[in-house]
Amino acid sequence: MEQTEWDVIIVGGGNAALCAAIEAAEANARVLVLESAPKPYRGGNSRHTRNFRCMHRGPLSVLTDSYAEDEYFNDLLRVTNGKTEKDMARQTIRESEACLPWMERHGVRFQPSLSGTLSLSRTNAFFLGGGKALVNAYYNVLEDLGVTVLYEAEVTHIQVTEQRFEAVDVAVAGTVLKVRGRAAVLASGGFQSDIDWLARAWGPAARNFLIRGTRFNRGVVLNDMLEQGAESVGDPTQCHAVAIDGRAPKFDGGIVTRLDCVPFSVVVNRDAERFYDEGEDVWPKRYAIWGRLVAAQPDQVAFSIIDSRSAELFMPSVFPPERANTIAELAQKMGLPPEKLTHTIDTFNAACSEGHFTPQDLDGLSTQGLEPPKTNWARPIVEPPFFGYVLRPGVTFTYLGLKVDPTARVSGPDGPYENIWAAGEIMAGSILGQGYLAGFGMTIGTVFGRIAGQEAAAYVA
Ligand SMILES: Cc1cc2nc3c(=O)[nH]c(=O)nc-3n(C[C@H](O)[C@H](O)[C@H](O)COP(=O)(O)OP(=O)(O)OC[C@H]3O[C@@H](n4cnc5c(N)ncnc54)[C@H](O)[C@@H]3O)c2cc1C
């Protein structure tokens, strides 16, 4: 390993890394992929994904109708409050259209989107078998192309001399090897799984956050590059977090730990007090804000309470809820003060008014004289059995990253590095300053992974 000088060294083993590796290997570069996870956990956060967002001018594979560049771009602007690098965002959108057939040619299969909570049949192409099937398909392609993949290989340092990449230090089985290469693609994700770093950025509350994805995205390479003067983008104190089932594991709980009960429930904190309008909007739209709301509560925990009438109105949870015949008994089971919770629910029930409850639409069924109000689906919680779910913030990804140009080349202290490219989450802040549009993470990784692989291969040719 140490004797070989590789053409292109790819750091990471998720979607962006794999797209880069395929492109570089297909251009005849000798490619080495270094993935810090063991083989069964390969694929980073990408293996938890379900879909990618794709522009198309007419029906394309499983995508219906059309999704034009301007509409896609405006959707992005809305979620980022204008904090979007406009030219690169448009570039990503335009190039997404060619990605779908490229993905299909490389073994990714798609399926029509599910109806129900997330109806995205026009905008998002769903992977058959999810992100795990996608990364497995790409690893199979790499095997066919003869690419060397090293697992349990954590890159600890990128050696750069005068803006030029020379080698990586990589820890394998307790030994640090120096592996030389002519070009590097950095695709090692964000830093959310380094809880100490998260706590420095967010404060001690971050120690109670759960990490929805891989434990291996600890930002080791990101930190190393920033310490060497690479230009950063994105707010270090920001991360994308959603409210998930509080019983999810610390890492890698993935998509199944999401809870869709909030709009039909009363949500209280540890002190059995309500703190926000549970009925503000239809759920997927408000999914992201609840991560922050729960993060701001004492002990970063909240409890969502429903009655039997609402139990079937949302996607079932992976862990069964707590269940009891009275609110006081439910409180006891969930570690909440029983009298206080009973009072909070009674007060809520008394503030509900008559009206038509319509779970699929904003029904305007609102509380009267309650603070904070519940502005839709405010139906009294009265029919036993009662159910309770515990909610905690689940971090999806961090925003701090490396600045790249439209060719995915990383910006150093004195202009672009000669031979270092980056793709995926590690550079996503170059496009999205804040906020997130469902399915755009995989689009950024696919578009810029491919570009980075092509550019690195062209450099070494
Ligand atoms: C639960 C969940 C669901 C999601 N669903 C979607 C979705 O449906 N659609 C969508 O677009 N986005 C989704 N996202 C976001 C999406 O996962 C990311 O945007 C995307 O996977 C980023 O790809 P990546 O290749 O940059 O990073 P990753 O896929 O996370 O890959 C990073 C890789 O780098 C490796 N690595 C890290 N550090 C080192 C190191 N020092 N040395 C060597 N290797 C290292 C890791 O092991 C990993 O393999 C979801 C995220 C989560 C957590």
- Cα 423 to Cα 19, 21, 56, 328: the distances in Å are 9, 11, 23, 51
List, as one string, the DSSP characters of 384-432.
SSEEEEEEEEEEEEE--EE-B-TT-EEEETTEEEEEEEE-GGGGGGGTB
Contact 212, 36 (CB under 8 A): no
The residue contributing the CA closest to ligand 1 atom 21 is 46
Per-residue pLDDT at 418 exceeds 80: yes
**What percentage of the chain reaches a pLDDT higher than 90?**
87
Rounded distance between C-alpha atoms, residue 155 and residue 187, angstroms: 11
Return the residue matching tokens 């007090």.
Answer: 273
Rounded distance between C-alpha atoms, residue 434 and residue 83, angstroms: 6
Instruction: Report which of 162, 99, 149 is spatially closest to residue 125, judged by C-alpha positions.
Output: 99
Residue 145 CA to ligand 1 center (angstroms) comes to 23
- The mean pLDDT of 6-20, rounded to a whole number, is 98
- The pLDDT value recorded for residue 119 is 60
Asked which of 103-112, 428-437, 442-451 is least confident by mean pLDDT, the reply is 428-437
pLDDT in tens, 366-417: 999 999 999 999 999 999 999 999 999 999 999 999 999 999 999 999 999 9
The percent of the chain in helix, strand and coil, each rounded to the nearest 5, is 35, 25, 40
User: Is any ligand 1 atom within 6 A of the Cβ of residue 425?
Assistant: yes
- The mean pLDDT of 184-197, rounded to a whole number, is 98
Q: Taking the CA of residue 63 as centre, how many other CA atoms within 13 Å lie in the half-sphere pointing to its CB?
A: 22
Rounded distance between C-alpha atoms, residue 274 and residue 441, angstroms: 33
**135-150: b or e for each residue (b if 16 or more CB lie within 10 Å)?**
bbbbbebbeeeebebb
Pairing of strands 232-233, 401-402: antiparallel
174 exposed, middle or buried (CB, 10 Å; 0-12, 13-18, 19+)?
exposed
pLDDT in tens, 45-102: 999 999 999 999 999 999 999 999 999 999 999 888 888 899 999 999 999 999 999 9
DSSP letter (8 states) at residue 41? G
Determine the atom of ligand 1 nearest the C-alpha atom of 444: 19
Q: If you count them, how many residues does the chain have? A: 461
Longest alpha-carbon distance in the chain: 77
Q: Which helix (H) or strand (E) holds 125?
A: strand 124-127
Query: What's the chain's average pLDDT?
Result: 95
Pairing of strands 31-34, 51-53: unpaired
Determine the atom of ligand 1 nearest the C-alpha atom of 135: 29
pLDDT in tens, 361-376: 899 999 999 999 999 9
Determine the atom of ligand 1 nearest the C-alpha atom of 449: 25
Q: How many CB atoms lie within 10 A of CB 355?
A: 12
Rounded distance between C-alpha atoms, residue 295 and residue 313, angstroms: 26
- The mean pLDDT of 102-114, rounded to a whole number, is 94
- The pLDDT value recorded for residue 321 is 97
Residue 344 CA to ligand 1 center (angstroms) comes to 40
Instruction: Report which of 75, 416, 99 is spatially closest to residue 231, judged by C-alpha positions.
Output: 416
Return the residue matching tokens 């000798």.
Answer: 30
**309-343: b or e for each residue (b if 16 or more CB lie within 10 Å)?**
ebbeebeebeeebbebeebbbbbeebebbbeebbe
- The pLDDT value recorded for residue 285 is 65
Q: How many CB atoms lie within 10 A of CB 118?
A: 18
- The mean pLDDT of 259-280, rounded to a whole number, is 96
Instruction: Report which of 403, 392, 397, 459 is spatially closest to residue 431, judged by C-alpha positions.
Output: 403
- To 5 degrees, how large is the angle CA 92–CA 97–CA 101? 130
pLDDT in tens, 202-238: 899 999 999 999 999 999 999 999 999 999 999 888 8
HEC per residue, 46-79: HHHCCEEECCECCCECCECCCECHHHHHHHHHHH
Per-residue pLDDT at 117 exceeds 60: no
Rounded distance between C-alpha atoms, residue 16 and residue 246, angstroms: 30
Residue 216 CA to ligand 1 center (angstroms) comes to 10
Q: Could you tell me the pLDDT band of residue 115, with boundaries at 50, 70 and 90?
A: low
Determine the atom of ligand 1 nearest the C-alpha atom of 50: 8
- Of 18, 39, 42, 46, the one to substitute when testing ligand 1's pocket (max ligand atoms within 8 A of C-beta) is 46
Rounded distance between C-alpha atoms, residue 60 and residue 52, angstroms: 13
Instruction: Report which of 22, 46, 32, 292 is spatially closest to residue 189, judged by C-alpha positions.
Output: 46
Residue 109 CA to ligand 1 center (angstroms) comes to 19
